[in-house]
Amino acid sequence: MYMMNSTMTKEILIHKTFDYLNRLPQDKVVEVAEFVEFLYQKHEEYILKKGIQKMVTDSKSFEFLKEEEELYTLDDLKVRFK
């Protein structure tokens, strides 16, 4: 039995996982494969989301808003709620 820990390299973890998979029955291997596919899709969604966030953050599309003058001030309010 292997003891997995956070200091193992990716290659070692893959090798040990492969060893375990070889010992499992077919139905369990299918279950593991489906779970791995689910994790991969979640990871891809995360990467895509982070890429979109970076693209929007780095974009100059809304730079014009920084230079826009203030159209209204607090003095323009008719009623102030406290």
**pLDDT average per 10 residues of sequence, the chain (82 residues):** 74 94 97 97 97 90 79 86 79
- Please list, residue by residue across 16-25, b when 16 or more beta carbons sit within 10 angstroms of its beta carbon and e when fewer do: eeeeeeeeee
> To the nearest whole number, what is the mean pLDDT of the chain?
89
Question: What is the model's pLDDT at position 1?
Answer: 57
Question: pLDDT value at position 27?
Answer: 97
**Per-residue model confidence (pLDDT) at position 20:** 96
pLDDT of the residue at 63: 81
pLDDT of residue 70: 81
